[in-house]
Amino acid sequence: MRRFAALIEELDSTNKTNEKVTILTNYFKSTPQKDSLWAIALLSHRRPPRPLNSTLMKIWASELAQVPDWLFEESYHIVGDLAETISLSVPQEIHLTPPSLSECIKEILNLKYKDEKEKKSYVFKRWKSFNNYEKFVFNKILTGGFRIGISQKLMTRALSKAVKIEENILAHRLMGQWSPMTTTFEELIINPNPEDQISQPYPFFLAYPIDQDFQDKELVQNWCFEHKWDGMRSQLIIRKGKYFLWSRGEELITDKFPELSSLVSLIPDGTVLDGELLPYKENKIGYFNDLQKRIGRKTVSKKLQDEIPIVIMLYDILEWEGNDIRNYNLIRRKEILESLYKKIIVYNAPILLSQVMFFENWNKVKEERKKADEKSSEGLMIKKKDSIYSLGRKKGFWFKWKSDPKTIDAVLTYAMRGHGRRTNLYTDYTFALWNDEKLVTFAKAYSGLTDMEIRKVDKFIKQNTIDRFGPVRQVKPELVFEIAFEGIASSSRHKSGFAVRFPRILRWRHDKKIADANTINDLKQFLR
């Protein structure tokens, strides 16, 4: 734990990527494999199950820090991070040799079998004996999300230097669901057994938004085009008579989509496909929201399958006849995919093929992009004809050119303090639209303002608070913002009756008064 906490502290004390890589490389070189493996797991968001809820942790921390609950809660909202609030509040009182990272996690895993009193005395012992950073890291493990601003890519690069295995091979080995509880450093990283690999996905290749001068710089003939489907990016693996479905977040979601099981008998073993899961009923692509209903459920009933049927819209093939073909060029991969598709579609399987388009000039591309609504897409994908299927976010091969977002002018009505680097600033806003002379909440948005604007809005909120509800401040309706969003669907769960997708602030409308803001009726016009 001492070494791991020191690692996090060191990573925190530089702002230079190369230094971070060096620090991590040195850590992997000098740390026992057991601990390294847990470090890799934590830094790639694989965490042990949570043994305690945060309410208990808050109560215990207030008790140990000898401050009233309300004061601890206020402090937490200002610091913006529970793990950090606890480590700042609870003093180090006793000196014990800290356990290693893997020992400490073993202790945390064992908590599951303990009663509350035992849990409390364990947590108190550790809180009292850890130094600041150890306590912070310990709390981060306890509270679940270990997001500390170190990307998985950076970690993989450092590990690659430490174990001298190529970065893309390592990235592949670290994919999917694994746990240090059931594997070892040797098995996972150094010497994986191919037999254990049948569910292993490939790293997803990601697209960049296009630059403004893209069309001036690029020859349209070098590119092929597809619509950008608005569903869930997924990788479908068929190996040894089994199928596995992975989400972009590296979660195994096979069980959520049982209708894909019919594909096992149709697609030959040794095939890996990249595509988009879409709700699809009566030959029409549905709303993203419907898909979320299916992901949200623990078990997928027959009724739900009938209500919200799905398809997988295929657009790439990464493995064919058991071979990794990511190095084939895109056109060749597309040909293989198409011939496979033609063979199986006759069986009425739940698949579609994303149509590849070619254009003679950029104007025609623009026209196609305008058809996004009609095609139920969010715009266009632009892929280089001779590109390989690369790794992560490599620039130059795949681009997205989204449709222009829908926008609406709304009034700021509530605000909360932000987290992480936005500590102590009001950055989480709620916006409302008019409905019969009343302002009705319709969306929350966190992003889009510059740091300077955030400071100004923060000041306004602090000076114009009408009421407080715990950490939430009700603000005098005065500021108008233009809110952009991707899509809209009816929703019984939202006050306004609508759920908008990916709302964000486009700009601050200094020129508008609240009376100029839009109405719920205006919002309704966007329903397709």
Partner 1 sequence: MPLLEFTKKGIYCKQADVYLDPWRGVDKAIISHGHSDHARWGSKRYITHEINVPIITHRLGKILVTGKKYGETFQINGVKFSFHPAGHVPGSSQIRVEYKGEVWVFTGDYKTQVDGISTPFELIRCNTFITECTFGLPVFKWEKPLRVHDDINRWWANNKSNKVTSLLMGYSLGKVQRLLKHIDCKTGKIFTHGATEKMTNILRQFIDFPKTELITRDTKKAEIGGNLVLAPPAVMGSTWAKKLGEISTGYASGWMAFRGARRRRAVDRSFVLSDHADWEGLLSVIKATGCEDIITTHGYTDIFARYLKENGWNARTEKTKYEVETIDSEVI
Q: Which is nearer to partner 1, 136 or 202 (CB)?
A: 136
Binding flag, residue 85, partner 1 (CB under 8 A) = yes
Site string for partner 1, 419-448 (x = CB under 8 A): xxxxxxx-----------------------
**Minimum gap (Å) between residue 12 Cβ and partner 1:** 7
CA angle 300, 284, 223 (to 5 degrees): 110
Catalytically annotated residue among 228, 256, 334, 383: 228
**Minimum gap (Å) between residue 74 Cβ and partner 1:** 5
Q: Please tell me what DSSP assigns to residue 446.
A: -
Query: Which of positions 137-176 make contact with partner 1 (CB under 8 A)?
Result: 149
Question: Is position 228 annotated as part of the catalytic site?
Answer: yes
CA angle 502, 315, 227 (to 5 degrees): 50
- Residue 496 Rama label (left phi>0; alpha psi -120 to 50; beta): alpha
Q: How far is CA 224 from CA 73, 83, 356, in A?
A: 54, 48, 7
Q: Please tell me what DSSP assigns to residue 504.
A: E
Binding flag, residue 487, partner 1 (CB under 8 A) = no
State which H helix or E strand residue 105 sits in: helix 101-110
Q: How far is CA 479 from CA 426, 440, 508, in A?
A: 14, 15, 8
Q: Which is nearer to partner 1, 61 or 260 (CB)?
A: 61
Binding flag, residue 288, partner 1 (CB under 8 A) = no
Binding flag, residue 6, partner 1 (CB under 8 A) = no
Q: Which is nearer to partner 1, 50 or 419 (CB)?
A: 419
Displacement of CA 258 from its chain's centroid (Å): 24
Q: Which is nearer to partner 1, 65 or 356 (CB)?
A: 65
Q: Which is nearer to partner 1, 89 or 430 (CB)?
A: 89
Site string for partner 1, 48-67 (x = CB under 8 A): -----------------x-x
Q: What is the Cα–Cα distance from 481 to 328, expressed in whole angstroms?
A: 47
Q: What is the Cα–Cα distance from 263 to 283, expressed in whole angstroms?
A: 19
Binding flag, residue 22, partner 1 (CB under 8 A) = no
Q: Between 69-79 and 54-65, two packed helices, what is the crossing angle to 10 degrees? A: 110
> Which of 49, 69, 71, 297 contacts partner 1 by CB under 8 A?
71
The number of beta carbons lying within 10 Å of the beta carbon of residue 293 is 13
Binding flag, residue 36, partner 1 (CB under 8 A) = no
* Segment interacting with partner 1 (CB under 8 A) among 68-76, 362-370, 398-406, 473-481: 68-76
Residue 418 contacts residue 80 (beta carbons within 8 Å): yes
Q: How many residues are listed for the chain in this entry?
A: 528
Q: Which is nearer to partner 1, 70 or 358 (CB)?
A: 70
**Minimum gap (Å) between residue 448 Cβ and partner 1:** 17
Tokens of 44: 């790639």
Query: Which of positions 457-476 make contact with partner 1 (CB under 8 A)?
Result: none
Could you list the active site residues? 228
